[in-house]
């Protein structure tokens, strides 16, 4: 069995490549670079479940849908073809109100709300790389929950 195992690659991998990866751990693509995801700790999962539950309850009988990781969010720049998509992320929680963005693989295009819960080891990725791609792709609201600091930062896209 062939195993591709990039740690953080500087090659330009596409979503088409991502679909062929055979790895034990989950990864994300950010602008063509591969980032391994760390296994979440119990506090991360507890917060994710509670926030998901509350959002899910709020969205009952509304058009928006919420999804928890693992859930592929593909952020195309020029084309929706798999070989032309270089950013595929797994937000902890995604809310999508334009149901046309949903397909059997997840979401293609910017969710309306993305929630990331920081874990040891992923702060730089969440705070810099993901912030940039979420802003560039038009995510309307990006929440960052920091369990260690017990803070919630809400970023809202303007213009």
For the chain, the average pLDDT equals 88
pLDDT, one tens digit per residue, over 85-115 is 999 999 999 999 999 999 999 999 999 999 9
Compute the chain's Rg from CA coordinates.
Answer: 15
7 lies in some domain: no
Q: CATH number for the domain including 143?
A: 3.90.1570.10
CA neighbor of 59 nearest in space, from 94, 11, 105: 94
User: Domain limits at 113?
Assistant: 15-156
- Find out whether 147 and 117 touch, Cβ atoms under 8 Å: yes
9 lies in some domain: no
- Find out whether 65 and 94 touch, Cβ atoms under 8 Å: no
Q: What angle do CA 94, 148, 137 make, to 5 degrees?
A: 30
Q: Is the pTM of this model over 0.85?
A: yes
4 lies in some domain: no
**pLDDT grade for 129, boundaries at 50, 70 and 90:** confident
Q: How far is CA 134 from CA 14, 62, 85, 87, 150, in A?
A: 17, 24, 14, 10, 23
Both structure tokens of 13:
């991998």
2 lies in some domain: no
146 lies in some domain: yes
pLDDT, one tens digit per residue, over 40-84 is 899 999 999 999 999 999 999 999 999 999 999 999 998 999 999
What is residue 5's predicted lDDT score, i.e. its pLDDT?
41
Q: How many domains does the chain have?
A: 1
Q: What is the DSSP letter of 101?
A: G
């Amino acid at each position: 069995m062939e195993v591709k195992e990039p740690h953080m690659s500087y090659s330009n991998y596409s979503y088409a490549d991502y679909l062929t990866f055979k790895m034990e751990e989950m990864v994300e693509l950010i602008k063509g670079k591969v980032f391994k995801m760390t296994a979440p700790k119990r506090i991360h999962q507890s917060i994710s479940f509670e926030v998901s539950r509350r959002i899910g309850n709020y969205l009952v009988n509304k058009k928006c849908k919420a999804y928890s990781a693992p859930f592929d969010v593909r952020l195309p720049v020029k084309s929706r073809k798999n070989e032309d998509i270089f950013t595929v992320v797994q937000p902890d929680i995604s809310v999508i109100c334009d149901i046309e963005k949903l397909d059997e693989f997840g979401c293609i295009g910017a969710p309306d709300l993305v929630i990331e819960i920081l874990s040891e080891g992923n702060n730089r990725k969440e705070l810099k790389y993901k912030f940039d791609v979420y802003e560039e792709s038009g995510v309307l609201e990006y929440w960052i929950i920091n369990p260690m600091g017990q803070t919630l930062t809400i970023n809202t896209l303007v213009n």
